[in-house]
A and B are shown apart, each in its own frame.
Chain A
């Protein structure tokens, strides 16, 4: 089993739709969680950190479920500009910089 698993997609959704991605992680000692966005042939950029209590940033909501070992990203009112690949990133232990693991990404295509 991979340490971090994501559905590769693609998720094709119409503008204005709500879409959700999940990411599962295998190591229960994981301590830090992030969602990054990567546009085609570009570098990843942090979208948001994921906190235990869940957090929201505009149209984006991130949640953490430690019991089931997954994090989720919800995008409301999808825009064409949201089309990208979304990377789940998990830090396996506090202070363990070298133990940050990237998922393979979920591709989102927002259709006019």
Chain B
């Protein structure tokens, strides 16, 4: 049982480039989410999904897009990378609202 699989682990982008962070879970969880973690700040919610075909914005959604075509996958797209998006990104899933979160291993993203 792999849990939450997140790729890549590391990525360096130039300003203006686009990319997709991949996230997949094999626990049949309805709820999936993306967080970013910056020094001195708690994890902040970017986007979340309560099921296939349903997504919504979190606390810091600007500059990011998501889609949820299947229960398993929840990719995060950076449309035009900016240095302010340099951060560690975590994907998470849970059985329901306010339930235990299972996290992927994270992506260290640097935007130059």
Contact = CB atoms under 8 A, between A and B. Distances in A.
A49 B99 CA distance: 9
Nearest to B41: A104
A97 B57 CA distance: 11
B56 interface: yes
Q: How large is the interface on B (under 10, 10 to 19, 20 to 34, 35 or more residues)?
A: 20 to 34
Given A95-B97, A97-B48, A4 B42 contact: yes
Interface string B31-73: 1010100001111110010100000101000000000000000
B42 A43 contact: no
A98 B48 contact: yes
A16 B45 CA distance: 36
B43 A43 contact: no
A87 interface: yes
B100 A46 contact: yes
A4 to B, nearest CB: 7
A31 B98 CA distance: 9
B42 A32 contact: no
Contacts of B108: 41
B103 interface: yes
Given A42-B105, A45-B103, A97-B31, A91 B43 contact: no
Contacts of A103: 42
Interface in A47-75: 49
B90 interface: yes
Nearest to A30: B98
Interface in B57-112: 58, 90, 94, 96-98, 100-101, 103-106, 108
9 contacts: A8-B40, A31-B98, A43-B106, A95-B97, A97-B50, A97-B94, A97-B96, A97-B98, A98-B48
Given A4-B42, A97-B96, 10 more contacts: A43-B104, A44-B103, A46-B101, A94-B97, A96-B97, A97-B94, A97-B97, A97-B98, A100-B98, A100-B101
Interface of B: 31, 33, 35, 40-45, 48, 50, 56, 58, 90, 94, 96-98, 100-101, 103-106, 108
